[in-house]
Structure 1
Amino acid sequence: MDALAALSSSQAEAAEKEATEKGSYELEVGDKKYTLQRNMFKIKRYQKTVHVVDVIPSVIEPSFGVGRILYTVLEHSFGVREGDEQRAWLALPPCVAPVSCSVLPLSSNEQFSPFVQQIASSLKSRGISHKIDDSGGSIGRRYARTDEIGIPFGVTVDFDSLQSKTATLRERDSMRQIRASLEELPGIVSSLISGQLSWAEVEGKWPTFTGPESTQ
């Protein structure tokens, strides 16, 4: 009986047809065959209603854990400056850093404000995330703060900017700087983020600048 019950719908119909035409049906079970007379079994047809509840999950929690991957990326990117263990930095790639560029006036001098706003506006028009840091403290200390949160580039407005309409661009990993015009800087930052330019190429095209890095 179990062997008969295990027949599929198509196999059951074939068995019924064979038994009707020949008067018997040969049932194979393993390597054995059994002859069943037509009056020994009966095929019944019936309708079965199956109720199904479709569930669409509102939250998908994969087993690998996105949070763990994020923690690993952050841990891999964390480092401290050689010779200064108190100065930490986060080496996030420019393309994934939440903030791509900082804009820093050298001091609280009000003459810097128009230049800071001009640079910020140009960065915004190019879709570059940026942060203006005009808080107190030395420029070196503010550089250190931006390094800690992984900002890869920093534009600094200084006293030379007032006359030459230029500003410096600092790269987080090497802490090196170049000087370029206010009109050029947003394009340079955009090319660095997209990978069209490397920092080595930037240093080869624009003059380098030696600026303060002390956090005192």
Structure 2
Amino acid sequence: MTDPEARVTIVGELYDPDRTEFREGADWRLSTRGVELLIAMRRPGSQWIDAVHGHAGPARFALIQAPHLLLLAFRFGEVMRWNDQPWQAMHQRRMYPDYPVGLPELTPEQHLLIRIYLVDAASGILRGQGLVTWPPHFASAVRRAVDEHLAAADDDEAAGRELDELYTRYPTAADLVRHRALATCKGGQQ
């Protein structure tokens, strides 16, 4: 992947000039440059594009913390129900070496900007993008959870067990949010 600060994302062009196919699902990256949420799906229709742009209702987010991983749950209005995606620093470092793990420095009153990208998994074409913010209480909760995660030893096997246990006990993302969310928020529009 090219340097994220130099990369320009244009709807209708390849999201990543080096890739023309993505695994369906989501991925989130936390860096000192900001937070990105990438959603890849095959041939997303206009309702999904509208949802990412914020035209289908508010974006909602929830943070779930386990000792060796974090999960971000997200929802876009009524179009995209709760989904979740795990995150581990070691995986981000391996997959995205150009993204230094961490979060931007913020004052306690600042919102954190989140860039959302919707990519056609079959072609790699960027179909939509949106900007929302996380309010200070949610950004602070994410920062604390990331700091705790970075202070702990990397243990991929333990993270796998924790994820399996969470998914066994809470079989849907909505269950995870309802019963395990450390913090929740409604994303603000930019």
Structure 1 or 2: more helix by fraction:
1
Rg larger in structure? 1
Judge same fold: TM > 0.5, yes or no. no
- TM-score, with normalisation over the residues of structure 1? 0.25
TM-score, structure 2 length as denominator? Answer: 0.28
Q: Which has the higher contact order (CA 8 A, sep 6+)?
A: 2
